[in-house]
Amino acid sequence: MTNFPEWMKTEENYKAVSDRDGFVGKSVLSVMGTLRLLRSSKTSYGRLGKAFPAPLKLVICLALILCCSISQNMFVTYSILATVLIHVCLLNSESLKKTVSTALLAAFISALILLPAVFLGSPQSMLTVSTKVFTSVSLIGILASTTEWNRLTSGLAAFHIPGIFIFTLDITLKYIVILGDIALDMLNALKLRSVGINRSKSSSLSGILVVTFLKSRQMADEMYDAMVCRGYGDKE
Amino acid sequence: MEKTLIRLNDICFAYDGLIALRHVSFDVKKGETLVLQGSNGCGKSTLLKLLNGLIFAEQGTYTFDDDIIDAGTMKNDRFAKRFHQRIGFVFQNPDVMLFCNNVREEIAFGPTQMGLDAETVDSRVDDLLKALDIERLAERAPYQLSGGEKKRVALASVLSMNPDVLVLDEPLAGLDRRTQDWLVDFLQSLQEAGMTIVLSTHDDVLAHLLGDRILYMNEDHSVNYIL
């Protein structure tokens, strides 16, 4: 039997004080959101989203982006944009918000970069490029919203991309989720133990980063060993 | 009669529509040990997260020492910090709890934040290093320790805040027999000292050895009692 000191046998008379550590809560929410996104097997369009094979969707998406990029005729770009907007309208609210906001941000940045063109007498270039960027990013957004990650990576095989590349991509996505879970637990542990004023917040966060890095290295080593044990060689 | 510290009434919780807890109701009295048992995925860990205020019920109420614990009350920073000081959580994987440079700093992390003077913090750290038999590890980096040593350090880092309730998720998982025996003995000592304990385990022997009550969770995420 262990003998405990007196302070452990009495109730703690502690008056908590407030601290500016909202970043822990925000980090938790951010990691949770990303993990939920990566784990989600739900796709927009419901059954329709799953009706087309991933390689076909990938081919169509890349072909449309290519057409949109190299086309000199704005009619082509506007036709693709119209198709894209119709598809965007069919997305669920969350995916719609994400796709449109990302595409608008990309279009805004490209417009900003091309702003000097307006003053140099070529205002049309800004409109053309921004429209093309908006259309292309929206296409990628639609593809990501309507296709699960694993289907998307396996769809790359249709382009004769080497298996090792697809495998590495798959493993990376899988390990992002696993490492995310570890980081989330660490942030939760930090939150639970942050019961007062933490004067070394940066030290606590760097500790979490260091442990996550060490864990990732350990998992990578273990995975390499497991692959070797299962017969994978360096030339695979 | 001892006071009720934890009371859950008709708690329901789901992850993105996937039910994890279904109409869970129970209470835990001061000084009592409640053991949660059930198959993998039945909601034990979710329930422990909810008890620690990491997630909040979608339906039902959770009260801790007569204070309601929900997203609204936990927005009050002082209330949340005091609550977290009163209920300590030892994660199943001790790796996720250890982020300081050495074991001494790890144990001192909580009491330092509580504003205790350096002498008191040092005294608490020394007491716990001795109680958990990890004095030799004081200056070691936590990530260099073995699984059993990490578990002891994680336990010490929570106990240093002197919580009223100790919550443990699968405390014996991944430990060798000798460390398991030590931990069971240590938890029994905490019981003797009047600590309120809630723990989840797959180990029937541990459950019957420590549990004043055993709460068995069904695969449909509801609960049964075994008294």
Structure-derived torsion over alpha carbons of residues B104, B106, B107, B110, reported in degrees to the nearest 10: 140
Share of chain A above pLDDT 70, in %: 92
Amino acid at A24: V
Q: How confident is the model at residue A13 (pLDDT cuts 50, 70, 90)?
A: confident
Interface-testing mutation among B73, B99, B127, with chain A (most A C-beta atoms within 10 A):
B99
Q: What's residue B120's pLDDT?
A: 93
Average pLDDT over residues A185-205: 85
Phi first, then psi: what are they for B58, rounded to 5°?
-85, -25
Cβ partners under 8 Å of residue A42, min gap 6: none
> Which chain B residues in 156-175 lie under 8 Å from chain A, judged by CB atoms?
157-159, 161-164
* Tokens of residue A81, six digits: 């944009």
Tokens representing residue B59 in the block = 């339906």
| Residue A232 clears pLDDT 80, i.e. is over it | no
Q: Which of residues 197-226 of B touch A (CB under 8 A)?
A: none
Residue by residue, DSSP assigns B107-161 as: HHHHHHHTT--HHHHHHHHHHHHHHTT-GGGTTS-GGGS-HHHHHHHHHHHHHTT
Amino acid making up residue A116: P
Average pLDDT of the residues in A166-191: 86
pLDDT recorded at residue A45 = 53
Continuous H helices in B23-117: 44-51, 77-86, 103-113
Residues A100-129 pLDDT 10s = 999 999 999 999 998 888 888 888 888 899
Alpha carbons B214 and B225: distance in angstroms, whole number: 6
ipTM: 0.88
- Collect all residues with Cβ–Cβ distance below 8 Å to B124 and sequence separation of at least 6: A5, A7, B107, B108, B111, B116, B160
Give the neighbor-by-neighbor strand order of the sheet with B18-29.
B18-29, B4-15, B59-64, B67-68
Quick one: pLDDT at residue B123? 94
Q: For A213, how many CA atoms within 13 A lie in the half-sphere containing its CB? A: 7
Q: What is the pLDDT of residues A28-49, one digit of tens each?
A: 777 777 776 666 655 555 555 6
pLDDT given for residue A1 in this prediction = 76
Q: What is the mean pLDDT of chain A?
A: 83
pLDDT tens per residue, range B60-118: 999 999 999 999 999 898 999 999 999 999 999 999 999 898 999 999 999 998 989 99
CB B185 within 8 A of CB B133: no
B3 and chain A: CB distance < 8 Å anywhere? no
Query: Mean of the per-residue pLDDT values for chain B?
Result: 92
The per-residue pLDDT for B227 is 65
Q: What is the DSSP code (8-state) at residue A3?
A: P
Q: What is the pLDDT of residue A207?
A: 86
Nearest residue of A to residue B116, measured between CA atoms: A14
Q: How many CB atoms lie within 10 A of CB B179?
A: 17
Confidence (pLDDT) at A47: 54
Low-confidence ranges of chain B (pLDDT < 50): none
pLDDT at A178 over 90: no
Alpha-carbon distance values, B97 to A48, A110, B121, B157 (Å): 44, 44, 19, 9
Amino acid letter, residue A215: K
Q: What pLDDT, on the 0 to 100 scale, is given for residue A234?
A: 62
Q: Quick check: pTM over 0.90? A: no
Gap between the Cα atoms of A94 and A101, Å rounded? 11
- Give the per-residue pLDDT at B31: 93
- For residue B26, the model assigns a pLDDT of 92
- Residue A81 neighbours by CB distance under 10 Å: 18
A195 contact B CB<8A: yes
